[in-house]
Amino acid sequence: MNANANAETGPGVLEIAKLALTVAILIGGIGAFYVYEEQSLLLSVSVVLASVAMAIVVFMQTERGRTLWKFIQGARIEIRKVIWPTRTEALQTTLTVFVFVLILAIFFWILDKGLLWGTKVLTGQGG
């Protein structure tokens, strides 16, 4: 019952503070980019990259960050389970798709020309 009560109240104050700090670090990094605009581009970009790295570190300390990391790990495991097609299978599939697209393109071109001819005949503009 106590666990349900904590789950219903939402994120704690510390969690919100960490998320706010993450956003503040990102905004500070972007602001520093414009403050150091007259300095070298390397310095400006380095400040932004450092702020992004710090924001990621702070974000990963939150519950949402841990959940994201678990999701990424799960996705990596699932990607390893995928059976990728061989080069021959990929080429055969690509060729099949290309042929069908070509056949359908010709079909729709003929259909369009036929409907155009029928419309001209019905409206008395030719044919």
pLDDT of residue 99: 98
For residue 91, pLDDT beyond 60: yes
Q: What is the rounded average pLDDT for all residues in the chain?
A: 89
pLDDT digits (tens, 9 = 90+) for 42-85: 888 888 999 999 999 999 999 999 999 999 999 999 999 999 89
Pick 63 or 40 by higher pLDDT: 63
DSSP three-state, residue 36: coil
Structure tokens, 103: 């056949």
pLDDT of residue 2: 55
Which residue type is seen at 90? A
d(CA 31, CA 24): 10
Structure tokens, 16: 């919100």
Does residue 25 contact residue 54 with C-beta atoms inside 8 Å? yes
For residue 1, pLDDT beyond 50: no
d(CA 56, CA 61): 9
Q: Is 10 left (phi over 0), alpha (psi -120 to 50) or beta?
A: left
pLDDT of residue 35: 85
Q: Please count the helices (runs of H) and the strands (runs of E) in the chain.
A: 5, 0
CA-atom Rg of the chain in angstroms: 29
Q: Which residue has the tokens 């704690």?
A: 12
When mean pLDDT is compared over 31-35, 36-40, 103-107, the highest value belongs to 103-107
For residue 19, pLDDT beyond 50: yes
